[in-house]
Amino acid sequence: MKKSIGILGGMGPLATADLFRKIVLLTDAARDSDHIRVYIDDNPSIPDRTAAILSGGADPLPAMTDSLRKLEACGADCIVMPCNTAHYFLPRLQALTEVPFLNMLEATAASCRQRFPGGTAAVLATKGTLSAGLYQAVLKKAGVPFLLPDETEQDALMRVIYDGVKAGKGPENYRADMEAVVRSLTAQGADHFILGCTELPLAAQALALDVPTVDPTEELARAAIRFCGYSVRP
């Protein structure tokens, strides 16, 4: 029996729309009825995850739990979160429900290992994701060598994410920051880049970034399609 997807979204809204779009585009479907049933709770009022991790900001778990309950009530067979930093809270959320969460970071690490055997990944992400060691843990487990941006590069990425994409600004506002980070990490030996914040695939697309990348949003879409018993478009 085919299954359905629940998207615990709003972190941010454009990233949520990007995941839904990728699920639709990547599902091997010839007509409307070949697609997956998807429930979306897009709650942009969920408190900022990085602020909660780094500086004692409001705990996002209550609002995330509210979204989870709504998706359960809809009948979702799995839950996906298009926010890398939100995966810090995934163990606490999973403990509240029997509906399985699909882990975007684990899917990304597996893709790095498969697509770039022996290669070195550069992890582009928020300070919250990096401080929590989320990608470091899954990449080590998958045996994928990696590099992390330094403090200055992390500041640049935060500007790309928060002052650029989340603020609805065009690529001319963040091109210099994004390209400087990529140049620096390439010089240090990175041969592919994990776009480890769900705003970064949007930035990379807008910039026509010409380096090998792994898009966690796309990897999550693929994992959700397969979980639900559908085929991924070749």
Tokens of 37: 């049933």
Q: Which amino acid is at 192?
A: H
Question: Residue ranges of the alpha helices (H) in 159-231?
Answer: 175-187, 200-207, 216-227
Tokens of 156: 């640049």
Q: Which is it for strands 78-80 and 5-9: parallel, antiparallel or unpaired?
A: parallel
The residues annotated with a catalytic role in the active site are 83, 197
What does R_g of the chain's alpha carbons equal in angstroms? 17
Question: Residue ranges of the alpha helices (H) in 75-120?
Answer: 90-94, 104-115
233 DSSP assignment = P
How many CB atoms within 10 Å of residue 118?
Answer: 9
Report the alpha-carbon distance of residue 18 to residue 24 in Å, rounded.
Answer: 10
Please give the backbone phi and psi of residue 37, each rounded to the nearest 5 degrees, phi first: -75, 130
